[in-house]
């Protein structure tokens, strides 16, 4: 597995970091990118020195993505997987969500993800055996939590991209799948949860029959999608949400 390099974009915290950790534990080699990779290097460099390359990068620098992808291809000889987990959320009423808010969200959540898939589908950028790419969407693209319309749009665009892109990439043995995540306990979600009062927190927890997710819950499914075990699987977006979307609000509550 050591020759299987996986790029984790957004690896410094949350779901990306948990995925980088699991990949390293399972014997993959990892290129880890985010703006701040120092603590990641501190945690992993000793144990996995030869299998970890930390490459700091700000993914909103879309005009520099081509050079970034070339650098990663050169470092690895071609990646066999990529998780795009860099992202941000903004909760704002629709009337305050002006074009600059949309631009900020799409510039990190959407455009780099599409561009990295495109760049790493070029000859030499992915490995001889093909590759597997995973993008992360959100329940916000499917249900109406107040203030999340623009964030949901930035994620829904990824889901719209996946089927047609996957169909084109299949001829190169590149697989592309997405995950719709429910609430996973990370810096991103905690900044909203911490602002809730006790009643709102209870209501949130009641919406998750299996409880809120841990980053490791997302990581284990992502690593499966990145692995050869999922070799017949492409073009799909799966929901991983602790039973959130399986429950119904029309049940008689206790």
| Residues marked as catalytic | 151
Work out whether strand 131-138 and strand 29-33 pair parallel, antiparallel, or are unpaired. unpaired
Q: Is 242 in the site for ligand NAP (CB under 6 A)?
A: no
Could you say which residues in the range 131-170 bind ligand NAP, by CB under 6 A? 136, 138
Q: Is 219 in the site for ligand NAP (CB under 6 A)?
A: no
Q: Is 189 in the site for ligand NAP (CB under 6 A)?
A: yes
CB nearer ligand NAP, residue 51 or residue 142: 142
Interatomic CA distance for residues 162 and 71, integer angstroms? 25
Which of 36, 96, 98, 103 contacts ligand NAP by CB under 6 A? 36
Q: Is 205 in the site for ligand NAP (CB under 6 A)?
A: no
Interatomic CA distance for residues 189 and 191, integer angstroms? 5
* Sign of the dihedral through C-alpha 23, 27, 33, 37: positive
Number of residues lying near ligand NAP (CB under 6 A): 29
Q: Is 101 in the site for ligand NAP (CB under 6 A)?
A: no
Contact 57, 8 (CB under 8 A): no
How far from the centroid of its chain's Cα atoms is residue 33's Cα?
12
170, 226, 238 from 22: Cα distances, Å: 26, 12, 20
| DSSP label of 96 | G
Strands (E), 119-195: 131-138, 174-181
Which of 85, 219, 222, 226 contacts ligand NAP by CB under 6 A? 85
Q: Is 43 in the site for ligand NAP (CB under 6 A)?
A: no
CB nearer ligand NAP, residue 11 or residue 125: 11
CB nearer ligand NAP, residue 39 or residue 129: 39
3-state SS class at 52: strand
CB nearer ligand NAP, residue 36 or residue 103: 36
**Where does this chain bind ligand NAP (CB under 6 A)?**
10-16, 34-36, 58-60, 85-89, 108-109, 136, 138, 181, 183-184, 186-189
């Amino acid at each position: 597995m050591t020759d299987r390099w996986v790029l984790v974009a957004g690896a410094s915290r949350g779901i990306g970091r948990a995925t980088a950790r699991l990949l390293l534990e399972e014997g993959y080699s990892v290129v880890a990118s985010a703006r701040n990779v120092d603590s990641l290097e501190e945690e992993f460099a000793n144990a996995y020195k030869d299998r970890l390359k930390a490459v700091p990068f700000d993914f909103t620098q879309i005009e520099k993505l081509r050079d970034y992808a070339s650098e990663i291809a050169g470092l690895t000889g071609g990646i066999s997987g990529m998780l795009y987990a860099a992202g941000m959320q903004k909760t704002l009423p629709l009337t305050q969500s002006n074009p600059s808010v949309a631009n900020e969200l799409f510039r990190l959540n959407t455009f780099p993800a599409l561009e990295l898939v495109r760049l790493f589908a070029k000859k030499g950028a992915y490995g001889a055996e093909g590759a597997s790419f995973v993008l992360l969407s959100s329940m916000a693209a499917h249900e109406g939590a107040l203030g999340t319309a623009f964030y949901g749009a930035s994620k829904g665009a990824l889901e719209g991209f996946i089927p047609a892109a996957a169909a084109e990439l299949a001829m190169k043995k590149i697989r592309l799948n997405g995950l719709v995540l429910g609430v996973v306990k990370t810096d991103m979600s905690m900044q909203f949860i911490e602002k809730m009062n006790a009643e709102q927190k209870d209501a949130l927890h009641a919406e998750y029959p299996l409880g809120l997710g841990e980053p490791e819950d997302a990581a284990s499914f992502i690593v499966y999608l990145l692995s050869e075990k999922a070799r017949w699987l492409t073009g799909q977006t799966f929901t991983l949400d602790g039973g959130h979307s399986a429950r119904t609000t029309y049940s008689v509550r206790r």
